């Protein structure tokens, strides 16, 4: 993964101190991500234009997740631009290959340069009937091929209003991570009521929820949970990014609408890159 000399040295120091101090708990210096989820948007020409305009930054890990048919051209545009941008997919099938019309396998994603894959987005849960056990199968498939799953979890407005947020998140986490040893994944907390609505969660609420998510991850992975990045997603944009970037447990953002314009996505990258140097 691309990282600046500063964050490389910080990670090294943390690892050395961690070994020297043995069991003492040290706040992990987690990787910061700014990730674009384009959903079902953009033509080939618009994709080319986006990568020409994007500036990016080495101080955060920038991932762009275009629709499946734009993955390979996007891979070529990124290579051509020489910019520090990684490629991710929006979905993957759980099987290696076979009679699954319209689906995309993990080796196909790998073949076209993907390093990341979004799994369990609420739109797939809602429109494609994906449940936690299917999410779990897809996470295993991604990990087995060395791709980093970006696992989306989040409560609906109804669940929030009936105070079920924690229960829903815990059950989604235990379901998605069932029988998984590796902690090489990213969690994206995306409250369904905040996605595409302009009603973003306040940074304080997101921080509080991320703290809870980390406590559940600790039940599953112990202290390794400190190194798992937890991103916020849901109407994040250039104006509210700074507030999120100040929170200790918000390790970046997963961005839908505001990632479609290179300029606004760049603005968010800059905010988090600055935060990473604090």
Size, binding site for ligand PEP by CB under 6 A: 13
By CB neighbour count within 10 A (0-12 exposed, 13-18 middle, 19+ buried), where does 218 fall? middle
Residue with tokens 């490389």: 8
Cα 190 to Cα 57: distance, rounded to the nearest angstrom: 24
| Residue 66 lies near ligand PEP (rule: CB under 6 A) | no
Q: Hey, CA dihedral for 227, 56, 38, 105, is it positive or negative?
A: negative
Task: Select 7 or 200, whichever has its Cβ closest to ligand PEP.
Answer: 200
| Residue 256 lies near ligand PEP (rule: CB under 6 A) | yes
Min separation Cβ 199 and ligand PEP, Å:
9
According to CB under 6 A, which residues from 182 to 211 bind ligand PEP? 190, 195-196
Six token digits for residue 31: 């990787």
DSSP state of 23: T
Contact letters (x/-) for ligand PEP, 27-46, by CB under 6 A?
----------x---------
| Residue 65 lies near ligand PEP (rule: CB under 6 A) | no
121, 123, 130, 155: which one is catalytic?
121
Six token digits for residue 181: 């040893």
| Residue 57 lies near ligand PEP (rule: CB under 6 A) | no
Task: Select 149 or 257, whichever has its Cβ closest to ligand PEP.
Answer: 257
When binding is defined by CB under 6 A, the residue of 54, 109, 147, 255 that contacts ligand PEP is: 255
Point out which span in 4-12, 45-53, 141-149, 253-261 binds ligand PEP (CB under 6 A). Answer: 253-261
Cα 259 to Cα 250: distance, rounded to the nearest angstrom: 18
Min separation Cβ 155 and ligand PEP, Å:
14
Task: Select 196 or 248, whichever has its Cβ closest to ligand PEP.
Answer: 196
Nearest residue to ligand PEP by CB is 256
**Among this protein's residues, is 123 annotated catalytic?**
no
Task: Select 220 or 247, whichever has its Cβ closest to ligand PEP.
Answer: 247
Cα 63 to Cα 57: distance, rounded to the nearest angstrom: 11
Min separation Cβ 24 and ligand PEP, Å:
36
Q: How far is CA 276 from the centre of its chain?
A: 17
How far CA 219 is from CA of 9, 38, 42, 87, 210, in Å, comes to 30, 33, 40, 31, 14
123, 190, 210, 226: which one is catalytic?
190
**Among this protein's residues, is 121 annotated catalytic?**
yes
Q: For 145-148, which contacts have Cβ atoms below 8 Å and span 24 or more sequence positions?
A: 145/106, 145/107, 145/109, 145/110, 146/110, 147/92, 147/106, 147/109, 147/110, 147/114, 147/115, 147/116, 147/117, 148/115, 148/116, 148/117, 148/184, 148/185, 148/186
Residues that bind ligand PEP (CB under 6 A): 37, 190, 195-196, 233-236, 254-258
Indicate which residues carry an active-site annotation.
121, 190
């Amino acid at each position: 993964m691309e990282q600046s000399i500063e964050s490389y040295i910080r990670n090294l120091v943390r690892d050395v101190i961690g070994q020297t101090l043995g069991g003492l708990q040290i706040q992990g210096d987690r990787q910061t991500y700014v990730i674009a989820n384009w959903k079902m948007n953009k033509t080939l020409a618009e994709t080319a234009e986006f990568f020409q305009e994007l500036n990016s930054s080495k101080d955060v890990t920038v991932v762009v997740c275009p629709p499946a048919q734009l993955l390979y051209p996007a891979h070529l545009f990124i290579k051509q631009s020489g910019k520090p941008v990684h490629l991710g997919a929006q979905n993957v099938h759980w099987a290696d290959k076979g009679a699954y019309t319209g689906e995309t396998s993990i080796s196909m994603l790998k073949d076209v340069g993907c390093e990341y894959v979004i799994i369990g987005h609420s739109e797939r849960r809602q429109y494609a009937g994906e449940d936690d056990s299917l999410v779990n199968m897809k996470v295993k498939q991604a990990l087995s091929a060395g791709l980093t799953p970006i696992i989306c979890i989040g409560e609906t407005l109804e669940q929030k209003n009936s105070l079920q947020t924690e229960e829903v998140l815990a059950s989604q986490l235990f379901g998605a991570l069932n029988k998984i040893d590796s902690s090489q994944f990213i969690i994206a907390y995306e409250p369904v009521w905040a996605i595409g609505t302009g009603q973003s969660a306040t940074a304080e609420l997101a921080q509080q929820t991320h703290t809870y998510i980390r406590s559940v991850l600790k039940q599953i992975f112990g202290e390794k949970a400190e190194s798992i990045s937890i991103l916020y997603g849901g109407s994040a944009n250039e104006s509210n990014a700074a507030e999120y970037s100040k929170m200790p447990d918000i390790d970046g953002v997963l961005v839908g609408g505001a990632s479609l314009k290179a300029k606004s996505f760049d603005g968010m990258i800059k905010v988090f890159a600055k935060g990473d140097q604090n």
